[in-house]
């Protein structure tokens, strides 16, 4: 089904105003999916609210990457029981990565019977049908609303877990945003042994470059200044397409579009980083000088058990090659602490890699066992308390490294995209090309959404403050 089938606003009975609340958990991919959900709901006539209690439709877009995320979703869903008792007419839906797993769906059905709709990651376009089916079972007022939809008989409590997706057909309604995302591919083929993503998001599938180019051009024309290309492993973009195209070629294509904008992308997998790609990032002015390159561990033994398909030496070589060409380019990374069979010696290798790589920031995670993954069958020999100690040790070391990285920008002139007028003190902020946040005092609201030249006047840990030099640059 294509989005054109969704009834548009004008069909809706104007007297009935329906409010929708969307809560997003997890990664940028989910943020991007929630944006699509918002577009679908708006097309149906819903208005979006930030207040859960006043909503008629509540949807949780869930994350399954770590157990903590799952527990948070369950905790928040459980709190809806009271609300549903008070307002039995609300429709509650759960979607996203968690609902791609049958044991989770079973649990939701058993423990949270008040949830009306469950659907997976790749089926956003059928949401109107699902909502309609719930409305049709309710009172006259609700039924009237539902009559505006096409007559399709879907059972309530529909569970859809399809992983073959119609990836080109969701609308792009993102005008007037300063920055936004585009998913260039879906799914993942890598099967890192700890990771649930390939199971819940399905196989890797790239979107056609022609369709991306169109969407990208439209965004630039509507004034978007920063677009982040999303995928679980953007470096392998194009491999599933008939018309072969590499990620580097895609970057070249998109940056040829006229206009003052910049591109970010995530996530890159170290196994697929080529010199050609680095050369393009370094030399192309429209590509931000930041690479998120998750390393996960500094120990070759652990990397092999994780099925990451690179060594610490190869990883550090990428960093070395890049830094020789662009010393200030910022690398960020993800690290998992306490993987099954990890010893303190293995962890020390992670510490030494972190010291060598000098990341500007690090995202650190304690290993979380995910049912159905290869690592779930490995013996997890590291006590939880030990994992926490290791994590703290890592964070302490990284804090200094980050601070030193940020310090390099003190006194320098940087180009910042102003994203937000902030608080009462009138402090605005934006990011530079390296993805470092810069706070600016006394910034006029007219500069919001503009690139400005800023001189960095102070630095404290990861806080940079700056002064505007020129309004347009």
Binding residues (CB under 6 A) for ligand SAH: these are 65-66, 194-195, 197, 232-233, 267, 269, 294, 296, 334, 336, 365, 367-368, 370
Q: Which is nearer to ligand SF4, 135 or 331 (CB)?
A: 331
Q: Which is nearer to ligand SAH, 92 or 288 (CB)?
A: 288
Under rule CB under 6 A, residue 319 binds ligand SF4: no
Alpha-carbon distance of 255 to 246, in angstroms, equals: 14
Placement of tokens 């998750």 in the chain: 294
Residues 6+ apart with CB under 8 A from 153: 133
Q: Which does 191 bind (CB under 5 to 8 A by kind): ligand SF4, ligand SAH, none?
A: ligand SF4
Q: Which is nearer to ligand SAH, 278 or 418 (CB)?
A: 278
Considering only residues 163 through 222, tell me which ones interact with ligand SF4, judged by CB under 6 A.
188, 190-192, 195, 197-198
In the bound complex, what is the minimum distance in angstroms from residue 59's beta carbon to ligand SAH? Answer: 22
In the bound complex, what is the minimum distance in angstroms from residue 350's beta carbon to ligand SAH? Answer: 12
Alpha-carbon distance of 119 to 380, in angstroms, equals: 32
Alpha-carbon distance of 358 to 362, in angstroms, equals: 10
165-184 exposure pattern, b = at least 16 Cβ within 10 A, e = fewer = bebeebbbebeebbbbbbbb
Q: Which does 368 bind (CB under 5 to 8 A by kind): ligand SAH, ligand SF4, none?
A: ligand SAH
214-222's contacts with Cβ under 8 Å and 24+ in sequence apart are: 215/172, 215/182, 216/182, 216/254, 216/257, 217/257, 218/172, 219/172, 219/174, 219/177, 219/180, 219/182, 220/257, 220/258, 220/259, 220/261, 221/259, 222/174, 222/175, 222/176, 222/177
Helix (H) or strand (E) holding 70: helix 67-78
Q: Which does 198 bind (CB under 5 to 8 A by kind): ligand SF4, ligand SAH, none?
A: ligand SF4
How many other CB atoms are found less than 10 A from the CB of residue 283? Answer: 10
Integer CA distances (angstroms), 240 to 181, 235, 301, in order: 21, 12, 31
Per-residue interface string for the shown chain with ligand SF4, residues 234-273, x marking contact by CB under 6 A? -----------------------------------x----
In the bound complex, what is the minimum distance in angstroms from residue 34's beta carbon to ligand SF4? Answer: 19
In the bound complex, what is the minimum distance in angstroms from residue 368's beta carbon to ligand SAH? Answer: 4
In the bound complex, what is the minimum distance in angstroms from residue 64's beta carbon to ligand SF4? Answer: 11
Take residue 233 and report the two structure tokens written for it. 């492993």
Give the residue among 319, 384, 304 at the shortest CA–CA distance from 354.
319
Q: Which is nearer to ligand SAH, 312 or 465 (CB)?
A: 312
How many other CB atoms are found less than 10 A from the CB of residue 154? Answer: 17
Take residue 306 and report the two structure tokens written for it. 């994780």
Q: Which does 66 bind (CB under 5 to 8 A by kind): ligand SAH, ligand SF4, none?
A: ligand SAH
Q: Which is nearer to ligand SAH, 33 or 56 (CB)?
A: 33
Left (φ > 0), alpha (ψ -120 to 50) or beta: where does 45 sit? left
In the bound complex, what is the minimum distance in angstroms from residue 336's beta carbon to ligand SAH? Answer: 5
Q: Which does 270 bind (CB under 5 to 8 A by kind): ligand SF4, ligand SAH, none?
A: none
Q: Which does 370 bind (CB under 5 to 8 A by kind): ligand SF4, ligand SAH, none?
A: ligand SAH
Q: Which residues pair with 131 in a beta bridge?
A: none
In the bound complex, what is the minimum distance in angstroms from residue 43's beta carbon to ligand SAH? Answer: 30
Alpha-carbon distance of 261 to 226, in angstroms, equals: 6
In the bound complex, what is the minimum distance in angstroms from residue 288's beta carbon to ligand SF4? Answer: 21
Q: Which does 439 bind (CB under 5 to 8 A by kind): ligand SAH, ligand SF4, none?
A: none
* Residue ranges that bind ligand SF4, judged by CB under 6 A: 188, 190-192, 195, 197-198, 232-233, 269
């Amino acid at each position: 089904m294509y989005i054109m089938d969704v009834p548009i606003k004008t069909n809706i009975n104007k007297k009935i105003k329906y409010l929708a609340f969307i809560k997003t958990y997890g990664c940028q991919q989910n943020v991007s999916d929630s944006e699509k959900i918002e577009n679908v709901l708006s097309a149906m006539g819903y208005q979006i609210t930030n207040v859960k209690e006043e909503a008629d439709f509540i949807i949780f877009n869930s994350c399954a990457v770590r157990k903590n995320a799952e527990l948070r979703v369950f905790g928040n869903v459980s709190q809806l029981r009271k609300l549903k008792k008070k307002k039995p007419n609300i429709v509650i839906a759960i979607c996203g990565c968690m609902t791609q797993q049958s044991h989770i769906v079973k649990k939701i059905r058993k423990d949270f019977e008040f949830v009306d709709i469950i659907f997976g990651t790749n089926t956003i376009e059928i949401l109107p049908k699902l909502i309609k089916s719930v409305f049709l079972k309710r009172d006259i007022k609700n039924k009237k609303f539902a009559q505006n939809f096409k007559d399709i008989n879907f059972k309530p409590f529909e569970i859809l877990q399809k992983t073959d997706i119609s990836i080109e057909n969701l609308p792009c309604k993102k005008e007037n945003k300063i920055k936004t995302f585009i998913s260039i591919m879906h799914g993942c083929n890598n099967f890192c042994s700890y990771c649930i993503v390939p199971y819940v998001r399905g196989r890797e599938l790239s979107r056609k470059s022609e369709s991306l180019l169109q969407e990208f051009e439209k965004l630039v024309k509507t004034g978007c200044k920063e677009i982040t290309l999303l995928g679980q492993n953007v470096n392998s973009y194009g491999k599933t397409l008939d018309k072969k195209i590499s990620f580097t070629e895609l970057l070249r294509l998109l940056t040829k579009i006229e206009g003052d904008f910049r591109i970010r992308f995530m996530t890159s997998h170290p196994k697929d980083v080529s010199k050609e790609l680095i050369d393009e990032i370094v030399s192309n002015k429209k590509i931000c000088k930041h690479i998120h390159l998750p390393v996960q561990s500094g120990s070759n033994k652990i990397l092999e058990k994780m099925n990451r398909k690179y060594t610490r030496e190869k990883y550090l070589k990428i960093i070395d090659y890049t830094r020789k060409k662009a010393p200030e380019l910022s690398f960020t990374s993800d690290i998992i602490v306490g993987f099954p069979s990890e010893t303190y010696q293995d962890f020390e290798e992670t510490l030494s890699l972190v010291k060598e790589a000098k990341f500007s920031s690090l995202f650190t995670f304690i290993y979380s066992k995910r049912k159905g993954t290869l690592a779930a069958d490995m013996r997890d020999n590291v006590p939880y308390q030990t994992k926490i100690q290791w994590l703290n040790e890592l964070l302490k070391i990284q804090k200094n490294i980050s601070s030193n990285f940020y310090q390099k920008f003190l006194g320098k002139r940087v180009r910042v995209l102003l994203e937000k007028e902030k608080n009462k003190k009138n402090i605005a902020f934006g990011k530079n090309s390296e993805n470092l946040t810069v706070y600016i005092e006394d910034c006029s609201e007219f500069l919001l959404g503009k690139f400005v030249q800023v001189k960095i006047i102070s630095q404290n840990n990861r806080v940079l403050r700056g002064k505007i030099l020129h309004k347009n640059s």
